[in-house]
Amino acid sequence: MHFKTKITSTSKVIVEKTIDSCQLPLSHLGAEIILGKSITSEQLTIPLIPSAIEVFAPRGACLVSEKGPLWVADTGHHRLLGWKNLPTQDSQPADWVIGQLDFSHEGQNGKTVPGKTTLNVPTGICVCGEGLAVADAWNHRILIWNKVPEDSNVPADIVLGQVDFYENQPNRGKQIPGANTLNWCYGVFYHQGKLFVADTGNRRVLIWNQLPTENGQPADLVLGQPDMFSRNENDGAIASASSMRWCHDITVWGGNLVVTDAGNNRIMIWDKIPVENNACCVAVLGQKKFDLVELNQGVYFPNGSSLSMPYGVDAIGDWLVVADTANSRLLGWKKSGSINSLMGTNADGIIGQKDFSSKSENGNFGLPKRNSVNWSYGIKICGDIAVIADSGNNRILLWKIV
């Protein structure tokens, strides 16, 4: 944070407090590489015809290593795009596609039936061991490749949430969920052998203590619900330290589990990784108390401690970086002291807006810039690179960590 002086017409000196975007551990120069078709000032809109370059409302992306491959959930085109190596230039075309016949086709499940290579609104994506996991949200399933794909339309090896690769009903066609069903699962995360899934439509997070090896394998643990058979939002009552409304993304920050509870406009943080069902978190960001849920804490404009539909989250060192989606900004909290002391605190840094009280797309409702975002949904960090799914701008940002 720094100060600047402003001279008014009455020769009065006003000291204004502004935000230095370098407070976040991201380069103040903005994204180093931007994937997707660029838009110019002469274009009001651009076509979103699928190609090896264009992406449509991507919600997730991850680097396998700092040198690649890079895999992107091209959500609106119902496909995954893969780059063999870390892209080195803007709008670089992808090398591989999964979910469609080729780069020029689109459609839910490739306009056919579900299978081992089809997708229907893919969202979350992460590296899991030597493989890759994808939240195939509208097929109500998680797809797992035992080895990271290095070609087009490599078939998945494991499916979770369904009996097999050819079914796609929410909760396997039943009203009541189970330990082996999913409903609008939007997020997936892997950490030290455990697989975490944001089972959004069932308002819960499922945890497998080991990476699943069989189709439809049941989860071992549930957060957000008292048992594996409940799915009420906020457990049928007001929000609490254990309930959820619209969980979306997951990470681990300094050994502590973190979940974005977008429907309650907050980030939930547990002390370490829970080992019991329905464990309570110890702090939330975005709200002052566990039972408060209003976006931007009940007012139109945000502030340094408020959130509006935060979807994406990841950690780098002492920093927790949150995609505050509906406020079109990235916020960062730097850990100092106990997790409990973080309850409702102000963020330590911001990127995408000039200050904590602004919320316009791209900072000024204008064209996208290298350091702006528009409804960013996802962030994944690999080494010194943050991969940001800038969904509203139909692009992926590769942003240097500093």
Side chain identity, residue 42: E
Residue 1 confidence (pLDDT): 40
Residue spans of beta strands (DSSP E) within 215-362: 221-223, 247-253, 256-261, 266-269, 283-285, 310-316, 319-324, 329-334, 349-351
**26 near 331, Cβ under 8 Å?**
no
Question: Please, are residues 337 and 281 in contact by the beta-carbon 8 Å criterion?
Answer: no
CA distance 305 to 287: 7
Which own/partner contact pairs does 335-340 have at CB distance under 8 Å and 24+ positions apart? 335/253, 335/254, 339/256, 339/269, 339/271, 339/282, 339/283, 340/271, 340/282, 340/283
pLDDT at 5: 34
Lowest-confidence pick of 171-175, 187-191, 294-298, 336-340? 336-340
- At 43 the pLDDT is 56
Average pLDDT, the chain: 93
What tens digit of pLDDT does each residue of 70-117 get? 999 999 999 999 999 999 999 999 999 999 999 999 999 999 999 999
pLDDT tier for residue 46 given thresholds of 50, 70 and 90 = low
Whether the bond between 218 and the residue before it is cis, its omega within 30 degrees of 0, is no
How far apart, in whole angstroms, are the C-alpha atoms of residue 108 and residue 246?
A: 23
**pLDDT value of position 369:** 94
Per residue in 149-187, pLDDT tens?
999 999 999 999 999 999 999 999 999 999 999 999 999
> Once rounded to an integer, what is the mean pLDDT over residues 374-397?
97
**Interval 138-157 mean pLDDT:** 98
Q: What is the pLDDT of residues 184-212, one digit of tens each?
A: 999 999 999 999 999 999 999 999 999 99
pLDDT (average), residues 55-70: 97
- pLDDT value for 47: 67
Q: Which two tokens stand for residue 67?
A: 């040198």
Distant-in-sequence, close-in-space partners of 54: CB < 8 Å, separation ≥ 6: 36, 37, 47, 48, 77, 394
**pLDDT grade for 364, boundaries at 50, 70 and 90:** confident
Domain ranges of the chain: 2-400
pLDDT in the model for residue 16: 33
What is the CATH code for 2-400? 2.120.10.30
- pLDDT tens-digit readout, 252-283: 999 999 999 999 999 999 999 999 999 999 99
pLDDT for 42 equals: 53
The answer to which of 36-50, 266-280, 341-355 has the lowest mean pLDDT is 36-50
- For the segment 106-133, the average pLDDT, to the nearest whole number, is 98
In angstroms, rounded to a whole number, what is the distance separating the alpha carbons of residues 121 and 390?
16
User: Does position 348 have pLDDT exceeding 50, yes or no?
Assistant: yes
What is the pLDDT, as a whole number, of residue 122?
A: 98
Q: Which two tokens stand for residue 68?
A: 């690649």
pTM of the model: 0.94
pLDDT at 11: 33
**pLDDT for position 48:** 77
Which residue type is seen at 22?
Answer: C
pLDDT above 70 coverage of the chain, percent? 93
pLDDT at 22: 44
Q: pLDDT confidence of 6, banded at 50, 70, 90?
A: very low
% residues pLDDT > 90 (the chain):
89
Q: How confident is the model at residue 337 (pLDDT cuts 50, 70, 90)?
A: confident
pLDDT interval class at 44 (50, 70, 90): low
